[in-house]
Amino acid sequence: MAYCKFQADHLFTGYQLLDHSHVLVTDEGGTVVDIVTGEAGNDIQQFRGILMPGHINCHCHLELSHMRNRIPAGRGLTHFISSVMGFPKVDQAEKERSMALADKEMYENGIVATGDICNQLYSIRQKEKSNIQWYNFLELTNLDDAKAAERVVLYNNMANEFKEALPSTSNVALSPHAIYSVSPLTFSLINKNTKNKTITIHNQECADEDQLFTNGSGRFLRFYESIGRKSMPLAVSGKSSIQTWLPYFNNGQTIIMVHNTYTPEEDIIFANEYAEMNGLQLVYCLCPNANLYIEEKLPPIDLFIRHNCNIVLGTDSYGSNRQLSITSEMAAIHKHLPDIPIATLLQWATLNGAKALHWHNDLGSFEKGKKPGVVWLNKDFSEARRII
Ligand SMILES: [Zn+2]
């Protein structure tokens, strides 16, 4: 069997940063054979910078790829949602071209797997020919309990279409969009339908989300009015967003909570305790560039670290990001919080994401028998490239 050998200034295994003396050995297809030190023979490919496993993007909306540079930045979440909902009609060919470019960009800059929000079926064709592995979150929005059962049937049917079209390495699960767009019965039915699955939800992306549920105020009221709704989907609970929606879940799920830009410490403590007591795995997904684009604010990353939260990274979509690159997300965090160790950032980008999507048996780290992809990364996070 022919082997491929790789050596760099540093080798990140998924767990730790090793020095130059370590050589990664894979077979020709990229399956990890070993990491060796000392005499590794000839034909070692040399790199400056870091070699690491393929990146895992835990939050994207491939369907929104055609919105690149089309939604104004810095206007807040309710404005952003209105812009997405009111986006001018785009023909299918342009959507497909944009999705193909987004897919290519992600693959080339080192992303090997993506957790992708799907509201419709039209990303299937791109995913059929993609080199990326897709976890498809079929995202429900539904404001009326009376329509909940029918919506869940519709989305389960869509889930079956994804399953039939895509390779068995992909996955599909229903997921709620966010607390402000999902009715109580819809939450309960999603809980029933997703036993032991990884699901996702947009959480506390703006301050108005908490205001809506603590005291029934904030900009979401105007948003509901603009779409012809008189009332909110869930009643005012007197509690924060996460303290209101999380108790709908108790079915062994891994829940990737996306953004968490406005999650205060008391909510982190509540959520982690609730998860522990109810057999859930909580994952905090950071999309810093999207947060800076929409709300011009970063989530409280230092608090998530202090409370041992399980952290992963996502790009969000071209609607709210100028590139789809986990490297750029790491760069944004490193720029604002330079004290976070590099190995910690690299683990968020790889092994943690693979675990969140339940794909760590194959992806996320250099361990014998896995095929996680090999990515070269510039030390200053300015560039990354898929090697194998
Ligand atoms: Zn999103």
CA 201 to centroid of ligand 1, rounded, Å: 8
Q: Considering just the CA atoms, what is the radius of gyration of the chain in Å?
A: 21
Cα-Cα end-to-end distance for the chain: 17
CA 84 to centroid of ligand 1, rounded, Å: 11
Determine phi and psi for 248, rounding to 5 degrees. -75, -10
Give pairs for 265-270: CB < 8 Å, separation 24+.
265/300, 265/303, 265/307, 267/204, 267/240, 267/242, 267/243, 268/303, 268/304, 268/307, 268/309, 269/307, 270/242, 270/243, 270/246
Q: Can you tell me the distance from the alpha carbon of 158 to that of 30, in angstroms, rounded to the nearest whole number? A: 33
pLDDT reported for residue 40: 77
**Are residues 44 and 74 located together in one domain of the fold?**
no
Q: Can you tell me the distance from the alpha carbon of 201 to that of 137, in angstroms, rounded to the nearest whole number? A: 9
**Are residues 330 and 374 located together in one domain of the fold?**
no
**Are residues 140 and 36 located together in one domain of the fold?**
no
pLDDT reported for residue 79: 81
Length of the chain: 388
pLDDT in 10s for each residue of the chain, 388 residues = 789 999 999 999 999 999 999 999 999 999 999 999 977 788 999 999 999 999 999 999 999 999 887 778 778 888 888 888 888 889 999 999 999 999 999 999 999 999 999 999 999 999 999 999 999 999 999 999 999 999 999 999 999 999 999 998 999 999 999 999 999 999 999 999 999 999 999 999 999 999 999 999 999 998 899 889 888 888 999 999 999 999 999 999 999 999 999 999 999 999 999 999 999 999 999 999 999 998 889 999 999 999 999 999 999 999 889 999 999 999 999 999 999 999 999 999 999 999 999 999 999 999 999 999 999 999 999 999 999 9
Q: pTM of the full predicted structure?
A: 0.97
Give the amino acid at 192.
K
CA 202 to centroid of ligand 1, rounded, Å: 6
**Are residues 14 and 80 located together in one domain of the fold?**
no
CA 78 to centroid of ligand 1, rounded, Å: 13
The CATH number that applies at residue 139 is 3.20.20.140
User: How many separate domains does the chain show?
Assistant: 2
**Are residues 27 and 166 located together in one domain of the fold?**
no
Where do the H-state alpha helices sit in the chain?
77-85, 92-108, 124-128, 148-165, 184-193, 207-215, 219-226, 241-245, 265-278, 288-294, 301-306, 326-336, 342-349, 351-356
pLDDT reported for residue 123: 97
Contact 275, 53 (CB under 8 A): no
* 3-class DSSP state of 140: strand
pLDDT reported for residue 231: 80
Which residues have CB under 8 Å from 155's CB, separation 6+?
138, 140, 174
CA 164 to centroid of ligand 1, rounded, Å: 25
CA 239 to centroid of ligand 1, rounded, Å: 23
**Are residues 383 and 240 located together in one domain of the fold?**
no
The CATH number that applies at residue 379 is 2.30.40.10
**Are residues 207 and 85 located together in one domain of the fold?**
yes
CA 20 to centroid of ligand 1, rounded, Å: 38
214 closest CA partner among 224, 204, 222: 204
CA 19 to centroid of ligand 1, rounded, Å: 37
**Are residues 41 and 178 located together in one domain of the fold?**
no
CA 67 to centroid of ligand 1, rounded, Å: 13
**Are residues 245 and 380 located together in one domain of the fold?**
no
372: containing domain: 1-53+364-388
Tokens of residue 201, six digits = 């939800």
pLDDT reported for residue 78: 80
Tokens of residue 127, six digits = 């995913």
159 closest CA partner among 146, 143, 170: 170
**Are residues 12 and 130 located together in one domain of the fold?**
no
**Are residues 254 and 109 located together in one domain of the fold?**
yes
pLDDT reported for residue 284: 98
Q: Can you tell me the distance from the alpha carbon of 368 to that of 361, in angstroms, rounded to the nearest whole number? A: 10
**Are residues 78 and 155 located together in one domain of the fold?**
yes
DSSP codes of every residue in 294-357: HTS----HHHHHHTT--EEE----TTS-S---HHHHHHHHHHH-TTS-HHHHHHHHTHHHHHHT
Q: Can you tell me the distance from the alpha carbon of 175 to that of 183, in angstroms, rounded to the nearest whole number? A: 13
- Alpha carbons within 13 A on the beta-carbon side of 34: 5
∠313-319-320 over CA atoms, to 5°? 50
27 closest CA partner among 368, 256, 322, 341: 368
CA 317 to centroid of ligand 1, rounded, Å: 7
CA 29 to centroid of ligand 1, rounded, Å: 33
CA 316 to centroid of ligand 1, rounded, Å: 5
Q: Can you tell me the distance from the alpha carbon of 13 to that of 54, in angstroms, rounded to the nearest whole number? A: 11
